[in-house]
Amino acid sequence: MAWKQTLNPDFAIGLNLETVRHCTLAGRRMPKSIANSGLITMILAGLLLGFPLVAAAQALNGGQPGSFLHLGQSARAQGMGNCFVAISDDVTAIYYNPAGLTQLLKYELNTFYCPLWEDTNYNFLGYAHPLEKMGTFGVALINMTTGEFEKRETIISEPTNFTVNDRAFLFSYGHNFSNRLSVGTTVKSIKKTVDIYSGSAFGIDAGALYRFLGNQLSVGANFQNLMAPAPKLQSAGDKYPLYSKFGVAYKIESALTNWEDKLILALDVDYSSFLKAKNHFGIEYWYGKNLALRLGKDINNYMTFGMGVNYASFSFDYAAVAHDLGLSHRFSVGYRFGYIGEAQYSLQAIKEKVMALNQSGTELYTNKKYALALAEWDKALVWDPQNTALQEKVTRVNAELESIVNRKLIEQYLSKAYVLYEEGKLVDSMEQWKEVANLDPGNERAKEYIAKIDAKLAKEDLAILQEREKEKGIVTINAYIKFGDDLADQGRYAEAIREYQKVLRVNPEHLTANKRITDTQFKVKALTREHFDKAEGLYKSGDKPNAIKEFWLVLRLDPAYSAARDYLDKIKQEEKPVQVSKKIDEKKISQMYYRAADLYLKGQYQETIIACNELLAMDPTNENTAKLVTKAQSVLEKIGGK
């Protein structure tokens, strides 16, 4: 039989990857029929075919031992040019960067299918299992099979078929060393088979992932074949080269028109002794939470594109990769279930989150980006609502910001007022001075010029000024009343009253505004009493879970309604309350709150409300949770219930 010691493993694997799928020779695809009659035949074949094949293969990231592992294991990643080292936030982190497994909060299963040319199929199947305190474990299978090769016992004998197969089992583990730094390792078992010959070997990979700016910026590294496998078919084996992958990714969230949109930019650099340094990049845009579009360039300079759809707990991804032989289509299906969150929300992790957000806010404040600084501190207060130092800082900077805005407005009005006065446009100048006086009632210069202009204005000018002020006041008042009515329709009564009160600053005698305030206050009082009576009745009938919900509605309408809070305290202290544990597990309560906070900061407001309600069923007087659910409901109302 021809396939004996004369079999060159390099050549066999070269045929599997490069001859069949990728390479062309003199404009023609290589045949799959191989005739062998001993050592001379193999040497000639290697000289005539092997060298051109290796040269062509290297241009396409092939030719090197173990190159079947570098085709990519995810339609999502391949749609982004196979840039995933610094992202690695799903089960395919087993391959791309095992450190990324620590980002998973649910059990996850994923399968990938890639049909190639000449009866070649490439598959990935992976499962990741996060644990509460022990990191995340993962296991995966990578398999590539090419069928219908022909062999002959002699040159004149009838051909028979055989297959070529490359397979890898991967066992991974990822662990958080801090809130920012994760590390991971993968042990892999490699087996390759050509006809009846096969060889196996083991290898080890390692990766790291470091996150900055509240996880917006991440850098990753993955070193594959640190312990290099060298599977042998017979007497010779190919040692897999060290393959290094470095990446950076930047996530832009809540910065586009849709609150839940997200844009990810990624850049990777791959290096090995075969490949040298090659860069590739990718972009992923999420429209809301359920639709993704992707674009990229892979290490072979081929353009890639793809899309993804999330439905319930399932994810469906598609990628198309351009190639000299045509488009290659790739497909993935994923499924997530369960929830593990405790490891993510250790006290140290929360402390680091708050410190990072506080530091980021301070840097923005130093650079005079006050609104952005307040946004960062507000996120920190979601994680740590009892942080009085942060609360005082937010209150102070809010006052500063209002003062700065007023100062800038005053400067604008002053500049216009002086110019108009010098030009003799006294009516126009008077309007600007009155705006200054409204913003700064104690401004002596405004008082001086208002008196000066008032003395100079003729009766006709005063009439014009009064008419302008009247028209301006009507427009402003109408805007305040309309906005107040909209807020009242949404049940945001306290905010509606504040808008009506703005009308009274313009015209203290405004009848409509005064009536709106009176009517709204009466409505709030009636609703508060209605919900309190309902809650009290539910409590007395023994339906404490629904009573708790009603008491919280009372406090949302009127935070100072002490009778409702007294009932909640009473329910908590009773010996055998319904659905309220006598001994509340404070650690579990904290973890549930942090989970809800995490959902809120990720823009998942409906899920936040559900998580908060679960917590309130256990601890009905948890004030932080009540505030968080109110914030989530408020945001949902503002964005139309998304």
Residues 249, 126 share a domain: yes
How far apart CA 575 and CA 104 sit, in angstroms, is 39
Average pLDDT over residues 7-21: 38
Nearest in space to 244 (alpha carbons), one of 211, 279, 218, 216: 279
The pLDDT assigned to 214 comes to: 64
Q: Which domain holds residue 603?
A: 514-638
Residues 337, 409 share a domain: no
The pLDDT assigned to 142 comes to: 93
Pick from 316, 341, 366: which residue ends a domain? 341
Average pLDDT over residues 307-326: 88
The pLDDT assigned to 92 comes to: 94
- What percent of the chain has a predicted confidence (pLDDT) above 90? 20
Non-local (6+) Cβ contacts of 280 within 8 A are 81, 82, 83, 267, 268, 270, 296, 297, 298, 299
The pLDDT assigned to 541 comes to: 87
The pLDDT assigned to 581 comes to: 41
Average pLDDT score over the chain = 77
Does residue 544 sit within a domain?
yes
Farthest CA pair distance, the chain: 120
Does residue 21 sit within a domain?
no
Residues 458, 404 share a domain: yes
Q: pLDDT digit string (tens) for 574-589?
A: 644 444 444 456 767 7
Does residue 117 sit within a domain?
yes
Residues 82, 199 share a domain: yes
Does residue 25 sit within a domain?
no
Instruction: Please count the other Cβ atoms lying within 10 Å of the Cβ belonging to residue 389.
Output: 9
Q: The domain that contains 520 carries what CATH number? A: 1.25.40
The pLDDT assigned to 335 comes to: 93
Residues 201, 162 share a domain: yes
Q: pLDDT digit string (tens) for 484-527?
A: 888 888 777 878 888 888 878 777 777 888 888 898 889 888 88
Grade residue 62 by pLDDT with cuts at 50, 70 and 90: low
How far apart CA 370 and CA 382 sit, in angstroms, is 19
The pLDDT assigned to 343 comes to: 47
Q: The domain that contains 323 carries what CATH number? A: 2.40.160.60
The pLDDT assigned to 408 comes to: 79
Pick from 440, 475, 506: which residue ends a domain? 506
Residues 521, 497 share a domain: no
Does residue 269 sit within a domain?
yes
Cα radius of gyration rounded to whole Å, the chain: 34
Does residue 29 sit within a domain?
no
Residues 281, 149 share a domain: yes
Q: pLDDT digit string (tens) for 385-407?
A: 888 888 888 888 888 777 777 77
Residue that the structure tokens 């906070």 belong to: 597
**DSSP readout, 325-376?**
T--EEEEEEEEEES---GGGG-HHHHHHHHHHHHHHHHHHHHTT-HHHHHHH
Does residue 31 sit within a domain?
no
Pick from 486, 506, 526: which residue ends a domain? 506
Q: pLDDT digit string (tens) for 172-218?
A: 999 988 778 999 999 999 988 888 888 888 999 999 999 887 678 89
Grade residue 18 by pLDDT with cuts at 50, 70 and 90: very low
Residues 187, 88 share a domain: yes
Does residue 202 sit within a domain?
yes
Residues 572, 615 share a domain: yes
Q: Is 447 exposed, middle or buried (0-12, 13-18, 19+ CB in 10 A)?
A: middle
Residues 502, 372 share a domain: yes
Grade residue 638 by pLDDT with cuts at 50, 70 and 90: low
How far apart CA 360 and CA 373 sit, in angstroms, is 7
Residues 530, 501 share a domain: no
Grade residue 34 by pLDDT with cuts at 50, 70 and 90: very low
How far apart CA 572 and CA 565 sit, in angstroms, is 11
Number of folded domains in the chain? 3
How far apart CA 144 and CA 164 sit, in angstroms, is 8
Q: Is the pTM of this model over 0.85?
A: no
Helix 388-422, helix 426-439: angle, nearest 10: 160
Alpha-carbon torsion angle 380, 381, 384, 390, nearest 10: 90
How far apart CA 73 and CA 65 sit, in angstroms, is 18
User: Who wins on pLDDT, 471 or 242?
Assistant: 242
The pLDDT assigned to 423 comes to: 82
Helix 426-439, helix 444-456: angle, nearest 10: 150
In this model, does residue 97 exceed pLDDT 70? yes
Residues 425, 295 share a domain: no
Grade residue 10 by pLDDT with cuts at 50, 70 and 90: very low
